[in-house]
Amino acid sequence: MLFLKPSVYEPMAFFILRMYGHKNSDFPPLLYSRLINRVFTHFIALEFNLLAVFTMYISFSEISSPKTFISLILACFVSGLLYQKVYSLQDAQAPPHELRLLLEAKKGYDELEVMSGMLSALSDSNPWKKSYPQEIIIPEWLRQKGYEVDIIYITHDFVQHAWQSKLNGTLDSTFVMSALDSWGTDQSRLTDTELQLVTVVLLWENDDERSFLMYADSPPYSFDEAKVHEIPSIAFSDKESKPLVLPVRFELFRNDEIYTISSYLSLSKVNDFRRPDTGKPMILQSYYQYYFTEAEIGDKHWEIALHSKFMSPFYGEEGDVIQIRKKGGSWFESISLGQYVHFGDIVYQFVEARFDGSEIYLQLVPDFDSRRGSQAGMRVFGFEQETLDGQTFRIDDQLGKWVLLDFWGTWCAPCITELPYLQEAWRIFNGKEFEIVGIANDNRETLSRFLRENELGWPQLISHHSESVTINELFGIRSWPTTILLNPDGVIEPGKSLRGFLLEEMMAQLVGFNSTRAERLKKGDILVDIPVELIESVLAEEYEEQSISVHISGSDLSFAGRIPLYLYDGSFVRGLRLSDTTLDETVVQVYINGKPADLPLTGRFLDDENRVRYRFSSAK
C-alpha cells in the first residue's frame, strides 16, 4: 500500500490542477489541492483506496468529465510516487543513528597498536604471590639440568582472582578489599564460584642463552607431559619474525553466567637485551587475537578491528579500543571506549563492546564539531584546579599558546627518565607561546618532597585517589607517562608519545627561534657551533632540511643517544649542561642524517662564559 507524506499531495495536486486548466472561480485550484491532500492522506493512510477515489469523484463532480478526473487522480499518484522515490533515496544516504556491528575472532595482530607486557616471576616479598598455587612441581629432568627455573603466573582476570583469594582465605580479607576499593570494583560483577583464571609457566634459559618454557592452564598444573617451547628472539624493529603463539583457555563471569574463553598468548624475547633489575632476558607477552568486521559507511568500505590496549583477553572495559581503515589501507590510530571515530566526514561514538568481542555499538554524533573532549582533533575539555603551590589553574586561560599536559608520577621510572628532556624543552621554549603542565599521580606530600629535591619550573596539578582523580578520568589516563599536546586553539594534536627530544624538535618547528630562545638554546657547559657552509661542503650540495645531531661522550649527561642541533643565524648550535662536568674528557661526534660525519674541529676552548666551545669551520 502506498504511503506518502502529508506534505506531498497538496503541492502536487495544485500543480496538476493548474496543468489541467480548471476554470471554476468559485472553487479555485488551491482549495481543490487542499481537499485532495486531506482526502488522500486520510483515506490512503487507512488503506481505503476505493473509498478515496469515490469520495474524490463526488467532491469534484464539477470537473468536466470522469475521464478528466481519473487522469487527475493517476497523475497525482504518479507524481507522488516520484517524489517519494527521491525522498527515499535521500533518506537512504543519511547515516544510521546507531550501528551494532557483529565481529569475528582473528588470530594475530595485523599491524594493530597492540600493547605488550613483560613476563616475570613474582618476588617472594610480593603479597599477591600467596594467592597462587604453591605446589608447582618442576619435572625431575629439568631440575637435573641445573637451570634457574622461574615459575610465572599469567592471570586472565585479576579482579576476579583477587576476590577468589579473599573467599578461599589465601589472602587477608582486609588487604583484598582495600585493593578492590582502590580499583573501583563493582562487586556485583564478581562470582563466589571458583573460576579457572590462571596459566602457569615454567621459564628458563639454557647455557647458550636460549629461552624455553612449558605451560599449563588448568589445575593441578602438572608439567610431566608438557611440551617444551623455545621463545624466538626478535629485535624491537623486526616486523617480519613471528612470536611463539600458545592457545589458552580460561573462565570468565559476565551477565550472571560463566563462560569458557579460548584465546592465544604470544611470547617473544627481545634480542640482545637483558633486564637491568634481574639480568635475565626480557620476555614480552600479549594476547594474540583481535575481532574484525567490515561495513559500508557513507560511500566507503571500512574495516574495523577491536582489541584491548591493556593486555586484556575480554572486553566491555576501559581498555577497549577500535581501529579502522579503508579497505586495503593502513590502520588509523586507536579509538578508546567513549571516544569518537571518523568514517570520513561521518562521526560515531564508540559506546560499547560485548565482553567476548563479538559485537560493538556505535552511535552517530551529528554535532561533533561543537563538542569538547580528550581526543585528537577536539577542543580539550575545560577544567580548573588548584596547583601544588595554591594558584588557580584554568586550561582555557592557556589559549594562544602550545601546552603540553604531562601525566606522570614520582614512582614511575619512565616518567623520571623523561624529565631531563621536558626540562630542556621548557628551558628553551617556555613563555607566551609554550607551557608545560604536570599532572602527577601522587599524593601531596610525596610530590612536594620530590620537587624540593628536583626543581621543575612548570605548574603541577595532582590527580590522585588521595584527593581527586578527576583529570585522569577526564582524559582516560591508565598508563604513565602520557603526554597530550594542545595547539593555541586548545585543540588536541595527534599522538600521545612525545618522548625524548620529540617535543623539543616539534616546538622548534612550530614556534622557531627568536633571539631570546636562541640565547637559551646556547646556554650550558658545552656549546657546539657548526656553520651551514661546512655542512654544505661535506654534503657537496646546498643544505635542505638535514638532520644534524651530536653525541657527547666522556661527560655525565642527562640525555641518552644523539642530541639535536638547531639552525640559527647561519649555524647549527646547541648548549648542554653537564650534571658532573669533566670538560677535559668530553668528545663530540657529529651526525648528519643519522650518519657519523668527520668535520674539521677548528677549536675547542673556553669562551667568555667559561663554556667549552666546539667551533667547526669549513673544510679546505
- List, as one string, the DSSP characters of 276-301: TTT-SEEEEEEE-EEEEEEEEETTEE
Please report, as a single letter, which amino acid is at residue 68: T
563 is written with which cell numbers? 642530541
Separation CA 425–CA 507 (nearest Å): 8
61 is written with which cell numbers? 463532480
* Beta-sheet pairing, 359-364 with 98-102: antiparallel
Distances (CA, A) of 524 to 332, 505, 609: 41, 18, 9
Separation CA 559–CA 353 (nearest Å): 42
Residues 6 or more apart whose Cβ sits within 8 Å of residue 498: 404, 483, 485, 506
- The C-alpha angle 428, 430, 433, rounded to 5 degrees, equals 115
Separation CA 579–CA 584 (nearest Å): 15
Strand order in the sheet with 340-343: 98-102, 359-364, 346-353, 340-343
CB-CB contact of 481 with 418 (8 Å): yes
pLDDT digits (tens, 9 = 90+) for 488-543: 999 999 875 788 899 999 999 999 999 999 999 998 877 888 888 888 777 765 55
CB-CB contact of 315 with 353 (8 Å): yes
Cα end-to-end span (Å), the chain: 93
The predicted structure's pLDDT at residue 359: 96
Strand order in the sheet with 150-155: 150-155, 198-205, 211-216, 229-230
Please report, as a single letter, which amino acid is at residue 35: L
- At the top level of CATH, the class of 379-509 is alpha beta
3-class secondary structure, 418: helix
Separation CA 286–CA 118 (nearest Å): 9
Separation CA 402–CA 506 (nearest Å): 11
Q: Which residues on neighbouring strands pair with residue 604, listed in sequence order?
A: 614
CB-CB contact of 324 with 99 (8 Å): no
401 is written with which cell numbers? 599558546
- b/e map 347-381, b = 16+ CB within 10 Å: bbbbebbbbbbbbbebebbeebeeeebbbbebbbe
Which strand (E) or helix (H) includes residue 528? strand 526-531
- b/e map 94-128, b = 16+ CB within 10 Å: eeeeebebebeebeebeebebbbeebbbbeeeeeb
Separation CA 308–CA 319 (nearest Å): 5
CB-CB contact of 415 with 481 (8 Å): yes
Q: What is the CA radius of gyration of the chain?
A: 35
418 is written with which cell numbers? 623523561
Distances (CA, A) of 72 to 7, 26, 508: 18, 19, 74
Strand order in the sheet with 548-553: 563-564, 548-553, 587-592, 595-597
Low-confidence ranges of the chain (pLDDT < 70): 1-73, 75-93, 236-239, 310, 318, 496, 540-546, 555-556, 579-585, 601-612, 615-620
Q: Which residues on neighbouring strands pair with residue 289, listed in sequence order?
A: 107
The predicted structure's pLDDT at residue 137: 94
Give the position of cell 601544588: 388
CB-CB contact of 575 with 612 (8 Å): no
